[in-house]
Structure 1
Amino acid sequence: MAENLHDLGNQVAAALQATPDFQALQKAFDEMKADAETYKLFQQFQQLQGTLQQKQMAGQKLTDDELKNAHDLADKVSKIESVKHLMETERGVNQILSDLNQTITQPIQNLYQG
C-alpha cells in the first residue's frame, strides 16, 4: 500500500510541475538566477533562514545580532525586483500545495470530527 502512495505522490509531483503556476515559478527562478549577484544574495538569505530555523527547532534562542542580520538581509533581498517576482509566483504554487494538503488530510479531519 505504501508503494502505491509513493507512486501517487510521484504522479502528483509530475502533475504539479506541469501546472502553469509551477512553470511560472521555474521561469521566475531562472530569471532571478541569471543575475549572479542577486542569486548569491538569495542563497545567503536561504542559508541564513535555514540556520536560524534549525537553531530555533533545537530550542536555542536567537541573538539580537542574528535577528538583525536576518532582518537586514531580508530587507535587502526583498527590494530586488526579480526576487519579489519569484516570491509572488511562489504564492500560486503554495496555494496548490495547501489545497492538496487539505484534500489529503480530509480523512483525518473527518475521523476526529465524526
Structure 2
Amino acid sequence: MSNVYDKAQELKRGLAESEEFTTLKSLHEQIEADEIAKKMLDNFRRLQLDLQQKQMQGVQITEEEAQQAQQQFEVIQQHDLISKLMEAEQRLSVIIGDINKIITEPLEAIYGNPEQQ
C-alpha cells in the first residue's frame, strides 16, 4: 500500500515543480505584494464565498447580488496581475481535473462512469 502513497508524493512533487504551479505561485506572491491588487482580489473572493454559501444553504441569490458579483468580476479582470492569476488558476484546475480523472479510472472500471449513464 505504501507504494501508492509514494506515487502520490511523487505526483505532489511533480505538480509543485510544474510550470503551471510555479507561475501561479509567482503571480500569487506578486499580488500579495501589491496592496491594491490584494484588496481587490480579497473583496471579490469574499463576495464569491458569500454567494456560494447562500446557494449551499438554499438561499436565492438576488438579482442585485448577481449584478454586483458580475461588476466586481469585470473590474478585477481589468487588473493585469489578477487576470493573469485567474488564468493560471484555471490552467492548474484543468490539470488537477485531468489527474483526478486518471486516478479514478480503476473505480470507473468497477462502478462505471456516472457521467456516461
Report the TM-score when normalising by structure 2.
0.82
Deviations 1:77-103 (A, max 9, x none): 111100111122223211220111001
Q: Give the CA deviation at 1:12.
A: 3.2
2:89 equivalent in structure 1: 90
Q: 1:113, 1:93 → 2: CA distance? A: 26
Q: Which runs of 5+ in 2 are unaligned?
A: none
Q: In the TM superposition, what are the counterparts of 1:22-101 in structure 2 within 5 Å? A: 22-101=21-100
Q: 1:71, 1:54 → 2: CA distance? A: 17
Q: Which amino acid aligns with 2:72?
A: L
Aligned length: 113
Q: Give the CA deviation at 1:113.
A: 3.6
| Cα-Cα RMSD | 2.3
DSSP-derived class of the 1:61 partner: coil
Q: Percent identity?
A: 29
Q: Which amino acid aligns with 2:40?
A: L
Q: Which runs of 5+ in 1 are unaligned?
A: none
Query: Which ranges of 4 or more aligned residues in structure 1 deviate by more than 2 Å?
Result: 3-15
Bigger shift: residues 44-53 or 28-37: 28-37
Q: Which has the higher contact order (CA 8 A, sep 6+)?
A: 1
Q: Give the CA deviation at 1:8.
A: 5.3
Q: Which amino acid aligns with 2:70?
A: H
The 1:44/1:111 distance shift into structure 2, 3 A limit, reads same
DSSP-derived class of the 2:104 partner: helix
Deviations 1:47-82 (A, max 9, x none): 111111011011110012211211111111111100
